[in-house]
């Protein structure tokens, strides 16, 4: 760890990328006072704060407003990029055929599900006929308690060339192939005029690994999945212990 610390201690951090659930947010879905203070201080230093999340824009906007953010937003695992004025810069969609296939998988394995469309989040009222639906699809999610069923679904999805990650140990999040938070953040960096070496990224789940390993400093939460911790440069405390604030204090303020 000392060698690693020597390598990254002098990184010029210009952007902090934050996952939300399990990272920025505590278990009550709130942003702690300590996290707010650290983010505010980092903003005053001219550092871009970018929420980089699996959530849709509609469930992110109020948090960005609460933090008075004035930078980009990366939503649905990198499927969308938004500017500081809420203007959509990029969007990658799943096809209706891919959504239909995943709906059939959901029924075959009797799993819980959710699906994010441009206009709506579906949880209990999936369209009876997708061909007649006007929805444009961003992401499909499975929640699967049974390990064998989850592995069978993963194999089928990967065979179909879809991007599969998770935001908790029992779920699967599916985006178009090649979509990731890291790819979206690279595009944000290009617009700002920096590189991923100038980024500190924090997260707790598999959908955070790409940005954690691509960033100049990759931070895993204390509550992160073990695979995420293995890939990170540094591990902070949990989302219930102001882990985001602790990491900013350690790498940006010290």
pLDDT at residue 131, rounded to an integer: 84
One domain, residues 146 and 30: no
One domain, residues 223 and 242: yes
pLDDT at residue 124, rounded to an integer: 86
One domain, residues 161 and 61: no
Residue range 187-214, pLDDT digits in tens = 999 999 999 999 999 999 999 999 999 9
Say if residue 1's pLDDT is above 90. no
One domain, residues 185 and 135: no
Distances (CA, A) of 139 to 10, 152, 228: 38, 19, 22
One domain, residues 189 and 162: no
Helices (H) and strands (E) in the chain, counts: 9, 13
pLDDT at residue 231, rounded to an integer: 98
Token pair recorded at residue 121:
């989040």
Q: Are 246 and 222 in contact (CB under 8 A)?
A: no
One domain, residues 85 and 164: no
The rounded mean pLDDT for the chain is 95
pLDDT at residue 10, rounded to an integer: 63
> Could you say which of 176, 198, 218 is where a domain stops?
176
- What's the number of domains the chain is made of? 2
One domain, residues 122 and 67: no
One domain, residues 234 and 170: no
pLDDT at residue 7, rounded to an integer: 57
Residue numbers of the domain that contains 243: 2-91+180-253
Which residues are designated catalytic? 19
- Domain of 103: which CATH number? 3.30.1240.10
One domain, residues 171 and 236: no
Half-sphere exposure of 114 (CA within 13 A, CB side): 14
Give dist(CA 175, CA 181) in Å, integer.
11
Degrees (nearest 5) of the Cα angle 111, 117, 118?
165
Residue range 117-135, pLDDT digits in tens = 999 999 988 998 998 888 9
Token pair recorded at residue 211:
């940005």
Q: In what order do the strands lie in the sheet containing 162-165?
A: 121-122, 112-117, 137-143, 171-176, 162-165
Comparing C-alpha atoms, which of 80, 77, 78, 137 is closest to residue 103?
A: 137
- Domain of 11: which CATH number? 3.40.50.1000
One domain, residues 83 and 116: no
One domain, residues 188 and 87: yes
> Could you say which of 151, 176, 201 is where a domain stops?
176
Residue range 131-190, pLDDT digits in tens = 888 899 999 999 999 999 999 999 999 999 999 999 999 999 999 999 999 999 999 999
> Could you say which of 150, 176, 202 is where a domain stops?
176
One domain, residues 9 and 82: yes
Please give the model's pTM, rounded to 2 decimal places.
0.94
């Amino acid at each position: 760890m000392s060698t690693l610390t020597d390598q990254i201690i002098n990184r010029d951090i210009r952007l902090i990328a934050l996952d939300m659930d399990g990272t920025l947010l505590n278990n009550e879905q709130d942003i702690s006072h300590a996290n707010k203070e650290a983010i505010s201080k980092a903003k005053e230093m001219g550092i871009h704060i970018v929420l980089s999340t699996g959530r849709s824009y509609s469930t992110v906007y109020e948090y960005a407003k609460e933090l008075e953010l004035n930078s980009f937003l990366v939503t649905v695992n990198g499927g969308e990029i938004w500017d500081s004025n809420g203007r959509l810069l990029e969007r990658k969609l799943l096809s209706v055929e891919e959504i239909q296939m995943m709906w059939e998988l959901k029924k075959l394995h009797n799993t819980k599900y959710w699906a994010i469309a441009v206009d709506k989040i579906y949880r209990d009222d999936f369209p009876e006929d997708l061909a007649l639906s006007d929805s444009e699809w961003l992401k499909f999610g499975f929640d699967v308690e049974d390990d064998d069923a989850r592995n069978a679904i993963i194999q089928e999805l990967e065979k179909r060339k879809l991007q599969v990650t998770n935001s908790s140990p029992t779920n699967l999040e599916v985006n178009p192939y090649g979509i990731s938070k890291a790819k979206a953040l690279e595009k944000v960096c290009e617009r700002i005029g920096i590189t991923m070496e100038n980024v500190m990224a924090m997260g707790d789940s598999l959908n955070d690994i790409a940005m954690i390993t691509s960033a100049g400093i990759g931070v895993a939460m204390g509550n992160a999945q073990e695979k995420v911790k293995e890939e990170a440069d540094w591990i902070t405390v949990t989302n219930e212990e102001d882990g985001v604030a602790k990491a900013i204090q350690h790498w940006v303020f010290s």
